[in-house]
C-alpha cells in the first residue's frame, strides 16, 4: 500500500504548529503592549486647543490658584472651564494684541464661550465628582500630575479602573490637609502614614470595603 504522507509530512506539521504558536504569542504580546501604551490610555498627548494655554506659566510661574479658572471644582462634579471674562480679567490689560489670544478676544466680542477640548475625562458610565474628592483632601496632583510644569496640558495619569481602585483601597497615603490641596510643592511629613489615618477619621472617609463597592463609581 503506497504511503499517504511523505516522509517530511511530520516535520512540516511540527513546523506549522510551532509557527502558529509563535504567531499567537506575538499577537498576544502586541495586544498587551497596545493596551498598556499611551496611545490606548491617551496619556502624554496634548490635544490641540483654540488657545495654547500654559499651566506652567499661569499656575507654576505666576502662582495663579487653580480655583481662579476652575471655579466650580469645590462645588460641582466638574471643575469647569475658564469663562472668557476670567481670561480677560488680565488680558484686557496685558498682551492685549497678542495674536495667540485672538480667539479669546473674538469670544468676548461675540459673547460665545471658548471651545476648550477636555483633556482629563472618565467614561460616561463612571460616576465621579471633583467636589467630594477635594473635600476629602485629595490634591489636584494626585490625578492630574504636576500640571504646574506643563507648557501644554496633557493627561498625566491613565484613568483606568485600577488607578481608582488603588487609591480607594488605601486612601491614607494620598490624603493631605485641605489647605494644601492646591499646593503643588507640598511635601508629606515623616509621619505621613499616621497623618493619613488621622485625616481619614477627621474627613469621615468610608472604609476601603465601602469605597470599593461597585455602586461607588457605577450608579
Closest to 219 measured CA to CA, from 95, 122, 136: 122
Rounded to an integer, the average pLDDT of 60-77 is 95
Q: Which residues pair with 138 in a beta bridge?
A: 175
The count of other CB atoms within 10 Å of the CB of residue 168 is 19
d(CA 83, CA 108): 10
Rounded to an integer, the average pLDDT of 212-219 is 91
Band of residue 99 on the pLDDT scale cut at 50, 70, 90: very high
Rounded to an integer, the average pLDDT of 167-180 is 95
Give the 3-state secondary structure of residue 42.
coil
pLDDT tens-digit series, residues 121-151: 888 899 999 999 999 999 999 999 999 999 9
Q: Nearest 5°: phi and psi at 175? A: -90, 155
d(CA 115, CA 173): 36
Band of residue 19 on the pLDDT scale cut at 50, 70, 90: confident
d(CA 48, CA 52): 8
Query: Is the model's pLDDT at 8 over the cut of 80?
Result: no
Q: Residue 58 has what DSSP assignment? A: I
d(CA 198, CA 207): 13
Q: Residue 15's pLDDT is what? A: 72
With beta carbons less than 8 A apart as the criterion, state whether 176 and 137 touch.
Answer: yes
pLDDT tens-digit series, residues 20-47: 777 777 666 655 554 555 545 456 778 8
Closest to 137 measured CA to CA, from 167, 169, 159: 167
With beta carbons less than 8 A apart as the criterion, state whether 183 and 89 touch.
Answer: no
Query: Is the model's pLDDT at 190 over the cut of 90?
Result: yes
Q: Residue 34's pLDDT is what? A: 47
Q: Residue 5's pLDDT is what? A: 55
Q: Residue 43's pLDDT is what? A: 65
d(CA 133, CA 107): 32
Q: How many residues does the chain have?
A: 219
Q: Residue 6's pLDDT is what? A: 64
User: What percentage of the chain has pLDDT greater than the value 90?
Assistant: 69
Rounded to an integer, the average pLDDT of 82-100 is 94
Q: Residue 175 has what DSSP assignment? A: B
d(CA 55, CA 21): 49
Query: Is the model's pLDDT at 186 over the cut of 90?
Result: yes
pTM: 0.78
Amino acid at each position: 500500500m503506497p504511503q499517504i504522507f511523505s516522509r517530511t509530512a511530520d516535520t512540516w506539521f511540527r513546523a506549522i504548529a510551532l509557527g502558529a504558536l509563535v504567531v499567537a504569542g506575538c499577537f498576544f504580546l502586541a495586544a498587551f503592549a497596545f493596551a498598556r501604551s499611551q496611545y490606548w490610555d491617551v496619556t502624554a498627548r496634548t490635544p490641540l486647543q483654540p488657545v495654547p494655554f500654559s499651566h506652567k506659566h499661569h499656575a507654576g510661574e505666576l502662582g495663579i490658584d487653580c480655583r481662579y479658572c476652575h471655579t466650580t471644582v469645590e462645588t460641582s462634579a466638574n471643575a469647569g472651564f475658564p469663562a472668557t471674562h476670567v481670561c480677560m480679567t488680565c488680558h484686557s490689560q496685558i498682551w492685549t494684541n497678542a495674536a495667540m489670544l485672538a480667539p479669546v478676544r473674538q469670544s468676548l466680542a461675540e459673547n460665545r464661550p471658548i471651545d476648550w477640548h477636555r483633556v482629563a475625562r472618565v467614561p460616561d458610565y463612571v460616576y465621579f465628582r471633583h467636589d467630594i474628592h477635594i473635600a476629602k483632601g485629595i490634591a489636584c496632583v494626585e490625578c492630574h500630575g504636576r500640571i504646574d510644569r506643563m507648557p501644554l496640558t496633557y493627561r498625566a495619569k491613565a484613568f483606568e479602573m485600577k488607578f481608582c481602585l488603588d487609591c480607594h483601597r488605601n486612601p491614607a497615603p494620598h490624603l493631605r490637609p485641605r489647605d494644601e490641596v492646591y499646593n503643588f510643592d507640598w511635601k508629606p511629613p515623616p509621619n505621613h502614614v499616621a497623618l493619613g489615618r488621622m485625616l481619614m477619621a477627621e474627613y469621615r472617609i468610608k472604609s476601603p470595603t465601602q469605597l470599593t463597592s461597585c455602586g461607588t463609581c457605577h450608579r
